[in-house]
Amino acid sequence: MPSAPWGTEGILRLMAVHAHPDDEASKGAATTARYAAEGVEVLVVTCTGGERGDVLNPAFEVPPGHEFESLAGKRAVRREEMAAAAAALGVAQHWLGFTDSGLPEGDPLPPLDPDAFALVPLEQAAAPLVEAVRRFRPHVITTYDPSGGYPHPDHVYTHTVSMEAWDAAGDPARYVVDGGAPAWTPLKLYYNHGFSLPRLRAVHEAMVGQGLESPFGDWIESRVAREIPERPVTTLVPVAPYFAARDAALIAHASQIDPDGFFFAVPRDVEADVWPWDEYELAATRVPAPTPEDDLFDGIRGTEVAR
């Protein structure tokens, strides 16, 4: 796979690690668009090609010159979608090159295919991410919490691989590769949070109050009934001016995102009014970082470590 870009000396750098193409558009996309627009170097790292994802947009048509029947065909289409999404966000993007595990369904769950990302031994799966961290030299990394955000094996494993890279990238004795980039120690690591109960309730109540149909009512009730523990949100990044870039990135993933579907069910003016933030959990830090925060680079900006 092509190497991750070298990070530029003296510029703040953010790496967002995701499981599949389209995850970068639905999780923290407005944040990456904002920071890129402000001059931060932003690199989206995509662990798999999304080859086993189903078509989720009923209006999707396979682009001319492509086929969508084989894993290779799907991979090619989704690469083009990813390039368009990255352009919409104004970010760079890097593939780790692993194969989508698919979402197993049934009871009992069927086994994963032998080439699945989630079955790759940890050191083999983490090695290209460690090298990407060492080349790009991010000050901040975002990834998924231990649950993956939802129980897709690739999302869960993305967390595992990200934590391995967080721990290992700064240790020159680990993941030694001839000609590889020198060790680099990232400073802060965050988990993406997209749909906290406070956010769901705020948007739901605003829509109901305006006589609109909310997409979140049943979801709120089911989460409360199941007593799903809420993870702490430590950091709210204001991003409302970048909702349009986020939406453009979503629409770029034409095989996955229905422009009349869930992600567009909330009017943007309502969202901007009641929840103009992306949510994060500060999971690890190597610099002083009192919370709550409104900036992923709190504790880094203007310091000697911002190199």
φ, ψ for residue 215, nearest 5 deg: -80, 0
Quote the tokens at residue 78: 């989704």
Kindly give, in sequence order, each residue whose CB lies less than 8 Å from that of residue 155, ignoring residues fewer than 6 positions away. 19, 23, 144, 148, 149
- Joined together, the tokens standing for residue 296 give 């992923």
Kindly state the average pLDDT of the residues 162-186.
97
Do 138 and 15 contact (CB within 8 A), yes or no? yes
pTM of the shown model: 0.96
The DSSP output letter for 21 is T
pLDDT at residue number 201 = 93
Alpha helices in 210-261 (DSSP H): 217-226, 243-252
Residue with tokens 């979503």: 250
| 209: its two tokens | 């109050």
- The domain defined by 13-195+231-285 folds into Rossmann fold (3.40.50)
Eight-state DSSP code of residue 26:
H
For 135-157, the pLDDT digits (tens) are 999 999 999 999 998 889 999 99
Tens-place pLDDT, residues 232-287? 999 999 999 999 999 999 999 999 999 999 899 999 999 999 999 999 999 999 99
